[in-house]
Every structure is written in C-alpha cells, then in structure tokens.
Amino acid sequence: MRPSNIWIALVGLAFCLALPARADDRPIDAYLVGEMKGLEVFHGDLDFSDYKLVTGFKGREKIVEKLATKHGKVLMIAFWALACQPCDMYLKDLNKVQEALGDDRFEVVAIDLERNSIVQTLKALQRQGLTALAPYGDFHPSITQELEANPGFRFYGREPKTILVDSSGKVRAYSSVTRDWLSDDGRALIDALKDGKI
C-alpha cells in the first residue's frame, strides 16, 4: 500500500474511533424502555466524587461531605427547592423509592438547592412525613450551576431534576422530568446499575 493510502486509512480509522457509540452498542439502552424511555444518557466522563453537600451543623459550622464518601453506592441524585410546588409530590415518590430500594448499594440523595438552612430542609421533609430521605443541602459552588454549564447536559425547566450516578461516582443518565422509578422498568434499570451490568 502506498504511503498516501496508509495515511488516508489511518485518518479514517481515527475518525471512526472518535464517533460516539451507536445506540445498540450501549448496554444501558436495553433498559431505556417503557417508563424509562426518553431518559437522557450522559455521554461524557463526569465524576461526581468531589462535589460537596451540606449534611448538618456542628455549632454554627456547616458539616460538609463529598459524594466520594458514598462510593460503592448507586446514587439517584434529585434536586429540589422549598418554593418548587412540583417538588412536593416528587419528594413523596422519592421517599417511597428510598424506602423500597435503599440499601448499602443504593441511595436517593435529594438535595435542597435553596441553601437557606439544613435545619429548614430537615423540617420541610419532616412536615411531609418523608422520614426515609436524609437532609442534604447544596454547597457553593452549586452543583446545578456547573451542570447547566456543561455541554453534555440538556437540562430544561426548573426543578425537580434527577441524575443517576454509578457506584464509582460517574454520571450515567439524567432526567428533567419526574419518572416512576418503582415501575418494573425503573427497578430493572436501578438493579442493572447496582449489579454493574451497565
């Protein structure tokens, strides 16, 4: 083969390798059916491990934890706000998800974006009887501000928003709308993430 032909072949190979995987090449697509149809797959390589959450107070000081402390768990990260009316119903759904599926390999992490007070966050959850959800507050810089600036995300509308993170801390999928996570389709997707199948 002439050198020019070799060069053309190498360029073609590099172009093919740079193309995103086809839908039928992604194991997660087999689970995006029924109630999970339309769930957005994240195509980048975003590690959530260093993102910080407010989990409480010690005196007047905020207790802040990195999501890295939850390595080994699949996380359903949901963003909500006290002033968000659709969030009330969604939080009730998420509380049921945590009650039904929460264990040492899965947790719903519902983050209050208002950053007023983790105490107020806890009271808001308690008022609705949402005892399965732990209180989490957003920490500066806001997670959602960074996500909305990330070209890999196509968030639209306001809260609630949901992100699925695998046990290594990598973002796998996200949704700008509420979903029935306890449907057969939702459970199958979560189980597949927990079992490392996708």
pLDDT at residue 115 above 50?
yes
pLDDT of residue 163: 93
How confident is the model over 141-188, as pLDDT tens digits? Answer: 677 777 777 877 877 666 688 999 999 999 999 998 889 999 999 999
Residue 5 lies in a domain: no
Asked whether residue 15 is assigned to any structural domain, the reply reads no
CB neighbours (10 Å) of residue 189?
28
For all residues of the chain together, what is the average pLDDT? Answer: 83
Kindly state the helix (H) or strand (E) to which residue 10 belongs, with its residue range.
Answer: helix 3-18
Is 68 a domain residue? yes
CB 164 within 8 A of CB 172: yes
Q: Is 144 helix (H, G, I), strand (E, B) or coil?
A: helix
Q: In the chain, how many domains are there?
A: 1
* Burial zone of 66 (CB within 10 Å; 0-12 exposed, 13-18 middle, 19+ buried): middle
pLDDT digits (tens, 9 = 90+) for 46-73: 888 888 888 887 777 788 999 899 999 9
Return the CATH number at 105: 3.40.30.10
Rounded to whole angstroms, how far apart are CA atoms 78 and 119?
A: 19
- Domain-embedded: residue 17: no
Residue 3 domain-assigned (yes or no): no
Which range of residues forms the domain containing residue 79? 22-194
Give domain status of residue 11, yes or no: no
CB atoms within 10 A of CB 112: 27
Structure-token pair, residue 164: 């699925």
Q: Measure the CA–CA gap between 55 and 111, rounded to whole angstroms.
A: 10
Entry pTM: 0.82
**Residue 131 is assigned to a structural domain of this protein:** yes
Q: Is residue 6 part of a domain?
A: no
